[in-house]
Amino acid sequence: THTHTHHTMGVTAALWLAVGAMGAPSVKVTADVGMCIFEADTPAHAVSQVSTGAVYGVFDQVVVASCPGGEVSPLTVLEFIPVGPRNVSTQWTQTVGKMVDVAYTSAGRIVARGLTDAQLAGLPVQTEVIPVLDRPMVPLNPESEMAYKLKAAKAKLVAFGANPIIERMIEEITPDRLELVLNYLTGVSSAIKSRNSIHPDGVVAAEWYKSELTKYGFDVELESFKDGYFPNVIATKKGVEDPDTIVVVGAHLDSRGRASLSETDPAPGANDDGSGAQALLQIARVISETGADFKYTIVLGAWGGEEQGLVGSRAYATKCKDRGDKILAMIQADMIAYRGEGEGIQCGFPNRYADVLLTDLGMSLLNTYTPEIETCYTSACCSDHQSFYEQGFAATQYFERCGSIIDPQYHNEGDVVRRTGFDLTGQLLSITRGYAATAFTLADFNG
């Protein structure tokens, strides 16, 4: 944990401005961890007011900031995840409140002090784990060079429509190639039983994934970020005109069953997030087979430790920020295969922790290249794009539906390909193609 000293009076005043205008806010000052926790009635208003200064996290209505005179200590936000009809948070709050050291509680949310691996492993399935940053969030700059480039990409799309070469490229993504990757990752054609961050088969999956990306001509590194967790797989294809500008295309390679951390439990993770992980390999394969070049550098990131609180992507995004990387955009595919009964093909974009410009461009690209997809917003929260958003980079996520999670096998050993609702030839195929078209467009296809 890093310790920071800040002049926080201005930030505290901004927080009070954000919540004070809407009546008396609920405020907790947890002096023992050197953090102030505020709760506002309108999250959008609060975010707009507190996006600069020593703010360490904005979690809907809850804002976490440093307190004057205190040293920052580890906090973790735990959120209740509504899944289908199992959407009652009262029992969850009571259960989790007895398991952890509670700093603050609000509806469906607990801020915990010093969460241990043992506590993490025992948390209920419907728990989103979001460690609070050990440094202040970096605000997005709407007037930056990167924002200008995103606006230019949108203007080009509006003016000229679909690029016919990109249209042909994404047609090379076919259901049989999707299933080939998923069968390996989920143990159908391999001996992999789980890709849990601490399961020995996770290392096997990462090594195989590296070999596939290497085969497709990418420069690939395994980057360790925490002892006992399998590493991030980072694959790079340098841009031919402006290699210093980077597009990060991500998915998480790890999976989980009912336990967040387990060296033994089966966790095939076909949808969460084999569906996203296979998409990165489709993108790499199509680039390789077509010989495509791009103006900007493409980095494919298959993250470890997502299920334990974005651990791998947080480490990578922090490193990118510290070394001054010029990241134009980060897109994340997480759970893109499940289709609810009676629903059309959908793709939801996050209603928080996402850049507005990039989300709008992503929606427009899907509408252009994959018009069969209904684009919308989702309340499903907190995948690896958040790690980049927190560092001031434009980031967004692609998710399988409008609204919340309804996959009944979410965080369960039943998350396999061959089951009701796993729509490989419709939902998964369409979003994978749209995701690839987004990556090719953002990297500025040089054709």
Q: Which of 11-20, 329-338, 393-402 has the lowest mean pLDDT?
A: 11-20
- Residue 180's alpha-carbon distances to 174, 278, 286, 424, in angstroms, are 10, 9, 15, 11
Question: How many whole angstroms separate alpha carbon 153 and alpha carbon 146?
Answer: 11
pLDDT tens digit sequence for 195-241: 999 999 999 999 999 999 999 999 999 999 999 999 999 999 999 99
Residue 119 burial by CB count (10 A; 0-12/13-18/19+): exposed, middle or buried? middle
Strands 232-237 vs 219-223: parallel, antiparallel or unpaired: antiparallel
- Give the DSSP per-residue string, 236-253: EE--SSEEEEEEEEEEE-
163-181 tens-digit pLDDT: 999 999 999 999 999 999 9
Q: Is residue 47 predicted with pLDDT exceeding 60?
A: no
Q: Any idea which of 63-72, 135-144, 393-402 has the lowest mean pLDDT?
A: 63-72
Relative to beta strand 26-30, strand 35-39 is antiparallel
Between the two ends of the chain, the Cα-to-Cα distance in Å is 46
* Position 293 pLDDT exceeds 50: yes
1-5, 155-159, 297-301: range with lowest mean pLDDT: 1-5
Residue 134, pLDDT score = 86
In this prediction, residues 294-298 reach a mean pLDDT of 98
Question: What is the C-alpha to C-alpha distance for residues 225 and 273, in angstroms, rounded to an integer?
Answer: 19
